[in-house]
Amino acid sequence: MNSRTILAATSFAVMAAAAQAREPWSDDVASRTQALALLQTLNADLLSHPSATLTLERWCGGHGLAPEAKILARRVKGQDKPLPDAERATLGIGPDEPVRYRRVQLACGEHVLSEADNWYVPSRLTPEMNRILDSTDQPFGKVVQALHFRRQTLNADLLWSPLPAGWEMDAPLPPPHKGPLAIPHEVLRHRAVLYTEANQPFSLVVETYTSEVLAFGRR
């Protein structure tokens, strides 16, 4: 076998392995168990780190979702939502304190991994931070990094479970089906408050994570 044949065979094997690694999730117990473990791992990572943006960046890189593991925030305009009155107490502000709203999609390559609603108190940010948030699509977590903020998660809800409740106690498992596993668009949701280093709340975020976090397929 000459060198060209060896090179061609090696290239074919690499491409075949890549295609196999990215095949759609099949609808069987093994795939469902793996998908559940991955969602729980992502949930734990998000809960243990202050910046969802940086966590998703690591997730993207670790699972090869894009050639470059870089999260871009895509602003969604024209969908302004007022902060619910009850949430003003969450942010420690009065009824007249100005609040700004930002809705973004956090994407890695072609994959939108998260859709986030963010209400923040501009008076608790620097003028430069406010300028960047008003005029660019930069992720919120990166813009306010200099605040050395911490994140307190109020709710973390798994919106879809690949396995039924009580599966670990021998609850009936879904029968396998031919074809890909049907994964809903929304799989996980977090509601959290960001606090400055001085323990002052300045942002309320509701982040909905999409099925694209599993877009690498079954390994």
Return the pLDDT at 14.
30
Return the pLDDT at 8.
34
Domain total of the chain: 1
Chain centroid to CA 218: 18
Asked if residue 159 is part of any domain, the answer here is yes
User: Residue 157 in contact with residue 204, Cβ under 8 Å?
Assistant: no
Asked if residue 12 is part of any domain, the answer here is no
Asked if residue 196 is part of any domain, the answer here is yes
Q: What is the pTM of this model?
A: 0.78
Kindly give, in sequence order, each residue whose CB lies less than 8 Å from that of residue 133, ignoring residues fewer than 6 positions away: 100, 102, 120, 125, 140, 143
Alpha-carbon distance of 183 to 168, in angstroms, equals 21
Asked if residue 72 is part of any domain, the answer here is yes
Return the pLDDT at 218.
46
Full domain range(s) for residue 188: 25-214
Q: Token digits for 138?
A: 């930069």
pLDDT at 17 exceeding the cut of 60: no
pLDDT at 10 exceeding the cut of 50: no
Asked if residue 71 is part of any domain, the answer here is yes
Return the pLDDT at 169.
63
Asked if residue 17 is part of any domain, the answer here is no
The residue-averaged pLDDT of 48-58 equals 89
pLDDT at 3 exceeding the cut of 70: no
pLDDT band at 80; cut points 50, 70, 90: confident
Query: What is the domain-level CATH number for residue 87?
Result: 3.40.1410.10
pLDDT band at 29; cut points 50, 70, 90: confident
Residue 92 is classified by DSSP as: T
- Phi, psi for 150 (deg, rounded to 5): -120, 160
User: Residue 152 in contact with residue 199, Cβ under 8 Å?
Assistant: no
Which of the two residues, 50 and 202, has the higher pLDDT score?
A: 202
Asked if residue 20 is part of any domain, the answer here is no
pLDDT tens digits for range 130-189: 999 999 888 888 899 999 999 899 999 999 998 877 766 666 777 777 789 999 999 999
pLDDT band at 208; cut points 50, 70, 90: very high
Chain centroid to CA 40: 12
Return the pLDDT at 69.
92
Asked if residue 192 is part of any domain, the answer here is yes
Partners of 69 in beta bridges: none
Kindly give, in sequence order, each residue whose CB lies less than 8 Å from that of residue 165, ignoring residues fewer than 6 positions away: 171
pLDDT band at 22; cut points 50, 70, 90: low
pLDDT at 219 exceeding the cut of 60: no
User: Residue 65 in contact with residue 42, Cβ under 8 Å?
Assistant: no
Q: Return the minimum-mean-pLDDT range out of 2-6, 29-33, 59-63, 89-93.
A: 2-6
